[in-house]
Structure 1
């Protein structure tokens, strides 16, 4: 059998200087997953600059017998963008396909290449007086193709929905190198199956997303932000429902932060944060609007009064400046880094109906206390939409990878069982990737799994696209 690297010459000729990466040192950042749980392997990384080059890459890969793994910012948590050893997969990095194609401020749409960094797309929308509401902790490095492939959620799902709710059009290179192009900006378009939805959340297993059209909103020029200290046994679902009613759905974020998560941030900083959790934890609540005619501060104050009168909130701090608002958000966004600083965590990405959030936290906490006494929990997340990052901290002195394997083989299933019993899921926004394939089989309904496999076989019969991810 010929050396795989010698078979890359046609790709060098196609992509030119800088278009193919093969040296071992440079490959490292493409073959390690974001959480350093998997060491991948690839003969090379392909870096196209256009949709036409992606089409040519696919045709060449099929001809030469290579599989393809699409990669955006490589910020995923489930190994979906990591090439598997032994599969002969080339990584297709979209980092050079980062063009903003158009912004329609009157029609509130944005079209761009799949390799566009999310923060750059946000900035392009903002420059035209618009808001792209998709917002993630990794928005400075994640890319829109990856957001589409994983159906990313983030901080503002409560008000604006997941990525699939924001996508109006897609451009996708199919496994035979042909192009599915539906980059229309229509809000109403009933012409049969909504085919673009097949590729959203598919993690690159059906095709390579090269372009996307996204919905925009008017720029949110006014914000009112508060840090809430929750009372003991505060009913999270009732609080979230009250907030939505009292604010006329102007709440863009409702972030629960446990006292243990807050303590991790304080430990990392080695200083008092100036903000505290109540017996029931804390909530970072933000309202936003595009009109100065809406008295957001008054709306927020009235909502807080109702929460305090109901006994759900013990105290609240209102951000009096953009600096103070930013500090509140920095604390929330620093939690993953603080977990890492404390030795790491095993991240369970749970979704339950919003009405079941309190029940889940109570039951799952009891499961961990019974089966792994002394294990420190860090839970937080976008509970206004039912997404809880329920994380088990690595005990002092334990190897992170060994502890991760132990949790995933044991107690994680007990936690997932609680979520499933409440009508929930083991994956809220991380996806399936390579790390959760067994969970998809274990908890997936037979008909769902059969449909997934049938769709994969129909569109990618030879398994060219991201083999090993999801299916």
Structure 2
């Protein structure tokens, strides 16, 4: 355990890491940190080894601490039975299996505060886990057996719905689908839609700053969070659950915790922005001609629909082949598919006519081989079912190596061409499943595991030999390796490699300032081996 002198040294180092970069002499002064020039293929970490973190001496795992946790949480709040622990220890993609002395299941914010006070006192790691749907092992403990999992599943209360303020207050363990239903019962709409909405929880959605199917219109999770309730690593409660749209009273502290993946504190509650329910939707399935300039198509659609477009999704023929069409009518064009949806809460806007007129212009441009406009809600549901079940189709086909690429929308076609050429040059036998929220520049650029190949070994090989090329292409276009899935444990070295050095120094400084003892989600986002800025 740290001495008082050690605690002061850690605190001072953290503060220097944040503030020393602002002396007016440039980002290169102050901390002395330099990520160096490291070959990116060394930074695409071997996923087989991710779960084999070296067990560090993290602190006291004595019976005394477990007894203290049971006193604070009750027997139902502390799981130690190996059979019950199993589901908490494997990541969403089944690539990593960790170990933990116990899964902690607080039912109140006060219990979370008690956990964090004990964790800081004993210097043990806490891994917050919401729905355990992270694609980057951001909620999975390492294999040291020294990190406790803090499950949010019992923090599952809808606190309030305010129709006049159009705001929803929830515990962080509420399942996203349940939050949507609570808004719907109040006659409002939570404009956040994810493929995992039936299992992901609000805390994880906030922790990863999740995107989803309607970012084009409504923005990322960050744009929908009005207030947060947070427990800091030392057990301090920070409550800012106001329903305000405007609040210029100092630093906006909540923004540090959105997208932080549980590395700075535990989100226990949130106030989310609601909108009038879109009572009318118009949806079209566009079978694309070859070489369609997608940025030009979206510009036309946005101009002609007066920003009614809420989704603009791209699907390749290979991705479409992985799923079953419930209605048997939907197919791919030579250039893939665009699934477009307009939505409005107004009964007075002729939304169907707007879509039909816009699709007529798309045909005149020669961009479509065929267009199907949904005539019923069942037809619309069929279209969206295809889009949303592609990940399941990939898994049934043997799995895929996932790349969550983001580039400026104007460069999406360029990335598709250059990325495809890079994959073909590496191995022309490889098949791509590419789909995603192309309207906001986010491509799920996935490489299918070939028949007969062992999935983990193939994932490792692609991560070392091909992924660096794809990430370099995205970076050269002003893009990034993570659009909405986060960093987690899989991509923390990529963050260090691609981030601006000044930005990375600030990021590490913020981590050190909020969490000087490194108890929050150790190994996620920032490598614990780097220590605190100094």
TM-score range (shorter-chain normalised) is over 0.9
* Counterpart for residue 112 of structure 1: 170
Q: Does 1:352 align with 2:407?
A: yes
1:315 equivalent among 361, 370, 375:
370
Displacement of 1:277: 0.8
* Counterpart for residue 54 of structure 2: none
2:400 & 2:430 partners in 1: Cα distance?
11
Is the CA contact (8 Å cut-off) linking 2:131 and 2:199 kept in structure 1? yes
Q: Could you say if the C-alpha distance between residues 222 and 2 of structure 1 is closer, same or farther in structure 2, counting changes exceeding 3 Å?
A: closer
* Counterpart for residue 59 of structure 1: 117
Aligned residues: 468
SS in 1 for 2:75: coil
SS in 2 for 1:101: strand
Is the CA contact (8 Å cut-off) linking 2:229 and 2:241 kept in structure 1? yes
* Counterpart for residue 329 of structure 2: 274
* CA deviation map 1:61-110 (0-9, x unaligned): 22233210100000110000001122611111010101111111111111
1:460 & 1:382 partners in 2: Cα distance?
34
Q: Could you say if the C-alpha distance between residues 263 and 272 of structure 1 is closer, same or farther in structure 2, counting changes exceeding 3 Å?
A: farther
* Counterpart for residue 125 of structure 1: 183
Q: Normalization by structure 2: what TM-score?
A: 0.86
SS in 1 for 2:479: coil
1:404 & 1:273 partners in 2: Cα distance?
33
**Matched ranges for 1:81-120 at <5 A:** 81-86=139-144, 88-120=146-178
1:274 & 1:221 partners in 2: Cα distance?
26
2:182 & 2:322 partners in 1: Cα distance?
35
Q: Does 1:300 align with 2:355?
A: yes
Which structure exhibits the higher relative contact order, with contacts defined as CA atoms closer than 8 Å and separated by 6 or more residues?
A: 2
2:470 equivalent among 415, 421, 446:
415
* Counterpart for residue 193 of structure 1: 251
Is the CA contact (8 Å cut-off) linking 2:101 and 2:145 kept in structure 1? no
SS in 2 for 1:307: helix
Is the CA contact (8 Å cut-off) linking 1:222 and 1:291 kept in structure 2? yes
Displacement of 1:273: 3.6
SS in 1 for 2:330: coil
Displacement of 1:4: 4.8
* Counterpart for residue 41 of structure 1: 99
Greater shift, 238-247 or 164-173, is seen at: 238-247
Q: Normalization by structure 1: what TM-score?
A: 0.97
1:2 & 1:316 partners in 2: Cα distance?
64
2:332 & 2:114 partners in 1: Cα distance?
55
2:60 & 2:426 partners in 1: Cα distance?
52
SS in 1 for 2:322: helix
SS in 1 for 2:453: coil
* Counterpart for residue 75 of structure 1: 133
Displacement of 1:129: 0.8
Is the CA contact (8 Å cut-off) linking 1:49 and 1:96 kept in structure 2? yes
Is the CA contact (8 Å cut-off) linking 1:5 and 1:43 kept in structure 2? no
1:168 & 1:262 partners in 2: Cα distance?
37
Is the CA contact (8 Å cut-off) linking 1:67 and 1:87 kept in structure 2? no
Is the CA contact (8 Å cut-off) linking 2:123 and 2:517 kept in structure 1? no
* Counterpart for residue 406 of structure 1: 461
* Counterpart for residue 9 of structure 2: none
1:303 & 1:21 partners in 2: Cα distance?
56
Q: Does 1:167 align with 2:225?
A: yes
* Counterpart for residue 333 of structure 1: 388
* Counterpart for residue 218 of structure 1: 276
Is the CA contact (8 Å cut-off) linking 1:5 and 1:44 kept in structure 2? no
2:449 & 2:275 partners in 1: Cα distance?
41
* Counterpart for residue 182 of structure 1: 240
Displacement of 1:320: 1.1
SS in 2 for 1:452: helix
Displacement of 1:9: 1.3
* Counterpart for residue 9 of structure 1: 67
Is the CA contact (8 Å cut-off) linking 2:278 and 2:343 kept in structure 1? yes
Q: Does 1:246 align with 2:265?
A: no
* CA deviation map 1:166-195 (0-9, x unaligned): 111001000110011111111011112211
SS in 1 for 2:113: helix
* CA deviation map 1:303-335 (0-9, x unaligned): 100111111112111111111111111111110
* Counterpart for residue 320 of structure 2: 262
Q: Does 1:155 align with 2:210?
A: no
Gaps of 5+ in 2: 1-58, 527-534
Displacement of 1:45: 0.5
* CA deviation map 1:319-357 (0-9, x unaligned): 111111111111111100110111100000000001111
1:3 & 1:467 partners in 2: Cα distance?
16
Is the CA contact (8 Å cut-off) linking 1:95 and 1:115 kept in structure 2? yes
**Matched ranges for 1:353-392 at <5 A:** 353-392=408-447
Q: Does 1:457 align with 2:509?
A: no
Q: How much is the aligned-residue C-alpha RMSD, in angstroms? A: 1.3
* CA deviation map 1:375-426 (0-9, x unaligned): 0000000000000000000011000000000001111111111111111000
1:356 & 1:77 partners in 2: Cα distance?
25
Is the CA contact (8 Å cut-off) linking 1:67 and 1:467 kept in structure 2? yes
1:25 equivalent among 65, 83, 98:
83
Displacement of 1:240: 1.2
* Counterpart for residue 397 of structure 2: 342
Q: Could you say if the C-alpha distance between residues 5 and 336 of structure 1 is closer, same or farther in structure 2, counting changes exceeding 3 Å?
A: farther
